Amino acid sequence: MLKGIDRRLSAEILHVLMQMGHGDDLLLCDINHPAVTIAAQTTHGRLIDMGGCDLLQAAEAVLSLMPLDSFVPAPVARMQVVDAPERTLPLFDEFQALCTRMEGRAIALEPLERFAFYSRAKGAFAVIRTSDPGPYGCFILKKGVIDLPR
């Protein structure tokens, strides 16, 4: 164990977060998402399971270490509800509130049509699948930068 690192973060997740650079995307998804298929097309190339965590728990752990991009208007993308693109689910608001709290600034979520979301997800650095039952529990987080003292 290491001090100060959320115990929900495995060594593989820590390694992926360290390898990612500014502007790289990370997909957090529920158990319904075609995660294995999409993960095979990412930079990391294989699925990372984060069993025992729902989406909000997983996001809180990841965002305790990974900053969100501050150079784009919406550093988080979410999937739109099929046949009801304007519809919002409580999870969308909860996820946005968590991101805002973790970042200490307002975070916008970009809604994407289902297949546009899948397309963007395939270009992600890695995919982390949670135990969340969904539905529509799929979020792409764009990594930002931190200012380190010199």
Catalytic residue flag (residue 69): yes
Active-site option among 118, 132, 136, 147: 118
Instruction: Quote the CA–CA distance of 123 and 27 in Å, as a whole number.
Output: 10
Instruction: Quote the CA–CA distance of 69 and 51 in Å, as a whole number.
Output: 26
Active-site option among 24, 25, 30, 69: 69
Instruction: Quote the CA–CA distance of 90 and 104 in Å, as a whole number.
Output: 21
Catalytic residue flag (residue 118): yes
Token pair belonging to 138? 């799929």
Catalytic residue flag (residue 33): no
Instruction: Quote the CA–CA distance of 81 and 86 in Å, as a whole number.
Output: 8
Residues labelled catalytic: 22, 69, 118
